[in-house]
């Protein structure tokens, strides 16, 4: 960006989060002249305020919980004393370790030019950054999303934190009021409760984790309650206020008070300041409008990740970043919009989901077979005592895998297998005949698949043939 002559880059990527990093790396690997523009910190939400710190916090909370419950497996301890400033220091170490592979110096070593500042479009072929005009053949907008404020009266006058500020805390809140029962809210509620906060989780909808399988959401709701979280579902707040020492939330059910208010009620696409109208890029409150190939209303401008208003997952953003860069730089096109996106909640136990849920399949009127295995039937779960959960696979009548829900200690890892099965068009018979390691939680998938395969082998034409062969063999 310091060159005096006007250059025309092959690709300018706006935003250095997951989508932007993957897009820039893809372009650089194929020899494109790539400029990555980031207004704040490279790495985006996932590195600084999302996936990395939240999972590090959950790990610390999980260790504290294990120490407190160690007597359940015959290990005596005097309890867990939480040094919250030290916990936060360790979290910041984890952030720094991840960021060390994403610094501007690292990216420049990969052939990616990096510039810092807010980008705003001048027209469809140029942007301005820090007073400089930058031209490019193609652009990819990867500016992500920001916390969404709920329309609660009085919120403007109350000090509160979102996922962007909660990891700046150096003191464990004694009483925490958390608004929002989605994945972020549920994870943080369990983490702070296990670290020692008195947590109240308030959700406006009729249950937590509204996008999850009903049975899975019920299990996590019970687990949070067992961890000491007070859960208020279907709660419509009428007013919040601050008296200088505590926050108060009023509803038809009464009054809730806390030392800290944490708002986790969703995110909205970040398009402010981009001057998209100058480039003729269509957008609305749901984000930048893109087609199946992530192209915006301008042929040379693409968008990827959370800014498009679709699934808010780091892995999906990265996948879209790849697709957008491929489509921008090469002939032809690849789909950048997926219907099947695996996701997980990293509580204990974890909840993971991919493809169709049982409820969605039924609502669509699809003929499906649903196979379920209680986690207590998986030997590895018995060895650790983590038997509160299940594996559920949704398949076509012929056995083609269409979706799955898992509640287990390593549910997110298991979801990857089902994701591969769905993408590859595999059926349960194939999973049944694929050897799995024993003893693992993942063996439960093979157990389900084998049961399905045996049942099919004993019914219908196949069953009749099998029975005839067995009868002949006995003779």
Q: What is the mean pLDDT of residues 170-186?
A: 97
Architecture per CATH, 349-460: 2-Layer Sandwich (3.30)
In this prediction, residue 459 carries a pLDDT of 76
pLDDT value, residue 105:
97
pLDDT for 340:
82
The encoded tokens of residue 14 equal 């706006």
| DSSP-assigned letters across all residues of 191-205 | HHHHHT-EEEEEESS
Is the predicted pLDDT of residue 114 greater than 70, yes or no?
yes
Q: Is the model's pLDDT at 84 over the cut of 70? A: yes
pLDDT band at 4 (very low <50, low <70, confident <90, very high): very low
Q: 314 and 299 in contact (C-beta within 8 Å)?
A: no
Query: What confidence tier does 468 reach under pLDDT thresholds 50, 70, 90?
Result: low
- Domain(s) labelled CATH 3.50.50.60 in the chain stretch across 8-43+102-146+268-329, 155-265
For residue 2, what pLDDT is reported? Answer: 44
Q: For the chain, what is the radius of gyration of the CA atoms?
A: 25
Digit-coded pLDDT (tens) for 303-337: 999 999 999 999 999 999 999 999 999 999 999 99
Mean pLDDT of 102-118: 97
How does pLDDT run across 375-392, given as a tens digit for each residue? 999 999 999 999 999 999
CATH topology for 8-43+102-146+268-329 is FAD/NAD(P)-binding domain (3.50.50)
Q: Average pLDDT of 411-437?
A: 97
pLDDT at residue 474 in the model: 63
Domain 155-265 grouped into CATH 3.40.228.10? no
When pLDDT is cut at 50, 70 and 90, the band that residue 473 belongs to is low
Dihedral over Cα of 332, 337, 339, 340: its sign: positive
> For residue range 155-176, what is the model confidence (pLDDT) as tens digits?
999 999 999 999 999 999 999 9
Return the pLDDT at 1.
Answer: 46
State the Cα–Cα distance between residues 347 and 212, nearest whole angstrom.
Answer: 14
In the predicted model, is pLDDT for residue 463 greater than 90? no
Task: State the burial class of residue 185 (Cβ atoms within 10 Å of its Cβ: 0-12, 13-18, 19+).
Answer: buried
User: Would you state the pLDDT for residue 3?
Assistant: 43
CA 431, chain centre distance (Å): 26
Q: Are strands 8-14 and 132-141 parallel, antiparallel or unpaired?
A: parallel
Decide: residue 385, CB within 10 A, 0-12 exposed, 13-18 middle, 19+ buried.
exposed
Closest by Cα among 70, 135, 47 to 314: 47
- Of 28-37, 74-83, 249-258, give the lowest mean pLDDT range: 74-83
* Residue intervals in the chain for CATH 3.30.390.30: 349-460
What is the average pLDDT across 113-136? 97
């Amino acid at each position: 960006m310091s060159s005096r002559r006007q250059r025309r880059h092959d690709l300018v990527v706006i935003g250095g989060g997951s989508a932007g990093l993957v897009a820039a790396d893809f372009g650089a690997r194929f020899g494109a002249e790539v400029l990555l523009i980031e207004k704040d910190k490279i790495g985006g939400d996932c590195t600084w305020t999302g996936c990395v710190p939240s999972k590090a916090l959950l790990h610390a909370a999980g260790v504290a919980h294990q120490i407190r419950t160690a007597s359940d497996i015959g290990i005596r301890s005097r309890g867990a004393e939480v040094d919250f400033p030290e916990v936060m220091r360790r979290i910041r170490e984890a952030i720094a370790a991840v960021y060390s592979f994403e610094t501007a110096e690292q990216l420049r070593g990969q052939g990616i030019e990096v510039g810092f500042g807010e980008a705003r479009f001048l027209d469809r072929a140029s942007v301005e950054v820090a007073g400089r005009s930058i031209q490019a053949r193609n652009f990819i907008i990867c500016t992500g999303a920001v916390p969404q404020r709920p329309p609660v009266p009085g919120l403007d006058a109350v000090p509160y934190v979102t996922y962007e500020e909660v990891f700046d805390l150096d003191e464990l809140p004694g009483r925490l009021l958390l608004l929002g029962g989605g994945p972020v809210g549920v994870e943080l509620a369990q983490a702070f409760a296990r670290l020692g906060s008195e947590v109240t989780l308030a959700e406006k909808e009729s249950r937590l984790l509204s996008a999850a399988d009903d049975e899975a959401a019920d299990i996590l709701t019970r687990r949070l309650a067992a961890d000491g979280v007070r859960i208020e579902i279907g709660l419509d707040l009428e007013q919040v206020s601050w008296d200088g020492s505590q926050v108060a939330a009023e509803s038809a059910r009464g009054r809730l008070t806390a030392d800290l208010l944490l708002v986790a009620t969703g995110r909205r696409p970040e398009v402010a300041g981009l001057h998209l109208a100058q480039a003729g890029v269509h957008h609305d409150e749901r984000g930048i409008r893109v087609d199946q190939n992530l192209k915006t209303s301008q042929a040379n401008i693409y968008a990827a990740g959370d800014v498009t208003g679709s699934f808010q997952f780091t892995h999906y953003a990265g996948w879209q970043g790849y697709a957008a860069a491929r489509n921008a730089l090469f002939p032809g096109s690849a789909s950048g919009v997926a219907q099947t996106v695996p996701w997980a909640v990293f509580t204990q136990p974890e909840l993971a989901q991919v493809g169709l849920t049982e409820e969605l399949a039924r609502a669509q009127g699809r003929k499906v077979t649903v196979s379920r295995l209680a986690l207590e039937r998986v030997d590895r779960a018995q060895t650790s005592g983590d038997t509160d959960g299940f594996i559920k696979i949704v398949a076509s009548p012929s056995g083609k895998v269409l979706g799955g829900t898992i509640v287990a200690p390593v549910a997110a890892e298991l979801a990857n297998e089902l994701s591969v099965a769905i993408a590859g068009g595999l059926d349960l018979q194939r999973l049944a005949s694929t050897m799995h390691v024993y003893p693992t939680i993942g063996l439960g998938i093979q157990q389900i698949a084998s049961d399905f395969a045996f049942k099919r082998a004993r019914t219908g034409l196949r069953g009749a043939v099998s029975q005839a062969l067995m009868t002949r063999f006995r003779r």
